[in-house]
Structure 1
Amino acid sequence: MSSNASNAMSWVKDNVQKFMPGICGVAIGNEVLGGSDVELYGALLGAAKNIHSALSQLGLSDAVQVSTAHSQNVFSNSYPPSSCVFRENIAQYMKPLLQFFWEAGSPFCLNAYPFLDYMNDPASIDINYALFQKTKGIFDPKTELHYDNMLDAQIDAAYAALEDAGFNKMEVIVTETGWASKGDGNEAAATPENARTYNFNLRKRLAKKKGTPRRPKNVVKAYVFATFNENLKPGPTSERNFGLFKPDGSIAYDVGYKGLKTSSADSIVLSLKVNTYLPFSRFASLHSPY
């Protein structure tokens, strides 16, 4: 996609144009910057430009945003939130990418997982803080802001990094967040009870239609990861158990949705029935910039 505009045009026709008006955005890759495949870093911007150009030529660029989802690995010094900046080794790729997205009117897409942060340091992090439960939270001495849940802090850390890079007005959207319902022996927090608590409380948090302490007027928007458990995914057991539903369409744990029959599992579209929640099916995903 980065080196051949014709490939980008063909992809957009096949994966976006055919499904309009059902798509609101295209994600160019997933967690490319900060990932292990450094060769992809340099291809990301060119792919985004070619996809956006194809959308423009087809008259779709006003309806379909182009962005890419970032993991928290693109940040350094993210605690407290106000200290967060982008890692120096990706700055040469990140800043031109942000400039292009800013000009295109695209958001900064963040995959934010309190589950992963808690698993990395359970001795220091209150699990109630990660699960939107009652807790004393944290205080950011630089901004004098209080955080009663970790997701808000992760979002505001991204805003701080964007401000440091010169993009004060770019919106942050959470493109993945969730909690594993099952894990290995060293993943004790991955339980159905915790997964249910996290996603149920996330629903309540989004329903408030409010922003974060740093950006109170920017209503939080989020995608839940994931609709289904990915039973063939490699890695720790938790990686296969982030779904609200099992692969056959039956419910994994109850956050207010009914189980599905297997025949309808492929066509599920979930909405949390609040304006701040983005339906699962509306982003086309281009998994590799190549």
Structure 2
Amino acid sequence: MAVSIMVPNQIIPDLAASYAAADRWVAANLLPYLPRTRVKYLLVGNEVLSDGSIAASTWTRIVPAMENLHRNLRARRVKLGTTLAMDALVTGAFPRPPSAAAFRPDIAESVMRPLLRFLEGTNSYYFVDAYTYFVWAGSNGTVPLDYALLQPATRARYVDPGTGLTYTNLLDEMLDAVGAAISKLGHGGVRIAIAETGWPNGGDYDQIGANVRNAAVYNRNLAARMARNPGTPARPGARMPVFVFSLYNENLKPGPGTERHWGIYYANGTAVYPVDLTGRRPLWAYPPLPAPENDTPYKGPIWCVLAAHAGRKLNETAVGDALTYACGQGNGTCDAIQPGGECFQPNTGAAHASYK
């Protein structure tokens, strides 16, 4: 099994500063596992260009860090890259038409041009995190669900007015938008790899379309499509490494409910749904899936009720953390349980977590 490993964002400046620091990192974190582990990719940072707080300290140091690491790994056939979200483009996750896409002006010359030059010179990949789920969920119904799920039988089509190319799924649009931005900087030969893609199998009440049925359909269609090696309309036949996010539901991960529900397996190791990631299993050969229950926005009343567990002590820390997250969204949800609010008393975590 080929694997990819990642350099943490926070140490990129140190690796860029000296060959010695890069050599020490490789010696401690990579060499002990070779050649028993087939490390194919070393990704220097995760969505670094999405974090404006490290722009000054880290953005322009990505390529120098990659160059220092590459010196050590040149003979080991480990490709270097960095993962970038769709927000590296001016128009973000849904750049339509794809042919009009371009990189953000704050990174185009200072970061992207040297990065693409490095990737082209080392025959590596531009690694993109491409999630059709987020585009569909935020489209207010303008993107058909089947189009986002890569359904082969969908009737939805989009024709790029700039190229005349016809698109039958949202993922191809996103990938060709990245390709167009790459070409605009004069490095159209750089190959694209999908560092992350997938669909959540569950989530909060207001996170539409996050269910087992859609997650299974997306990943099955993705595997079947990539097994055929179709490329994209703008890059037909292009071979593309793909990483599915994720292997397990991360049941302790903070944030919205979808953050804990991207896995093919539950945290205990049982399958959420069957999927053949080789793409060889015909779609009709899978067992029936549960019907989706949240493909349209929930319009009913909602309130929080703290789950009662008889005989078990309340985890005040966990409840407090959950309240801090829920009340930090800036939408007035928790006004009633703030000091002076009509539901502030009794002033306990259990009471504040259960009100309407």
TM-score (norm: length of structure 1) = 0.84
**Cα offset, 1:18, TM superposition:** 2.6
For 1:160, what is the secondary structure of its paired residue? helix
* Alignment partner, residue 80 of structure 1: 97
**Cα offset, 1:273, TM superposition:** 6.3
Correspondence for 2:79 among 65, 70, 83: 65
Query: Residue deviations 1:125-154, cap 9 Å, x none?
Result: 111100012132211111111111111111
Report whether the alignment pairs 1:130 with 2:144. no
Correspondence for 1:174 among 194, 210, 217: 194
Does structure 1 retain, via aligned residues, the 8 Å contact 2:224–2:278? no
CA gap of 1:208–1:273, structure 2 versus 1, over 3 A, is closer
CA gap of 1:107–1:180, structure 2 versus 1, over 3 A, is same
**Cα offset, 1:221, TM superposition:** 2.9
* Alignment partner, residue 282 of structure 1: none
**Cα offset, 1:10, TM superposition:** 2.0
* Alignment partner, residue 261 of structure 1: none
* Alignment partner, residue 40 of structure 2: 24
* Alignment partner, residue 278 of structure 2: 272
The runs of 5 or more residues in structure 2 that have no matched partner are 1-14, 281-356
**Cα offset, 1:272, TM superposition:** 2.3
Q: For the residues of structure 1 that align with 2:239 and 2:73, how far apart are their CA atoms?
A: 27
Query: Residue deviations 1:28-81, cap 9 Å, x none?
Result: 00111132332321221221111112213xx32xx1100001100000242111
Q: Which has the higher contact order (CA 8 A, sep 6+)?
A: 1
Query: Residue deviations 1:237-277, cap 9 Å, x none?
Result: 11111111122211122224xxxxxxxxxxxxxx5267xxx
* Alignment partner, residue 13 of structure 1: 27
Moved more, 93-102 or 190-199: 93-102
Correspondence for 1:42 among 60, 63, 77: 60
The runs of 5 or more residues in structure 1 that have no matched partner are 257-270, 275-290
Decide which structure has the larger Cα Rg and report it.
Answer: 2
* Alignment partner, residue 69 of structure 2: 51
* Alignment partner, residue 148 of structure 1: 168
Q: For the residues of structure 2 that align with 1:31 and 1:103, how far apart are their CA atoms?
A: 22
The alignment's C-alpha RMSD in Å is 1.6
Q: For the residues of structure 1 that align with 2:178 and 2:127, how far apart are their CA atoms?
A: 10
For 2:48, what is the secondary structure of its paired residue? coil
Does structure 2 retain, via aligned residues, the 8 Å contact 1:23–1:64? yes
* Alignment partner, residue 89 of structure 1: 106
Does structure 1 retain, via aligned residues, the 8 Å contact 2:144–2:156? no
Identity of aligned residues (%): 33
For 2:155, what is the secondary structure of its paired residue? coil
TM-score (norm: length of structure 2) = 0.69
Q: For the residues of structure 1 that align with 2:224 and 2:114, how far apart are their CA atoms?
A: 36
Query: Which residue identity is paired with 1:35?
Result: D
Does structure 2 retain, via aligned residues, the 8 Å contact 1:34–1:90? no
Does structure 2 retain, via aligned residues, the 8 Å contact 1:109–1:172? yes
**Cα offset, 1:17, TM superposition:** 2.4
For 2:65, what is the secondary structure of its paired residue? helix
Q: For the residues of structure 2 that align with 1:193 and 1:273, how far apart are their CA atoms?
A: 18
CA gap of 1:273–1:132, structure 2 versus 1, over 3 A, is closer
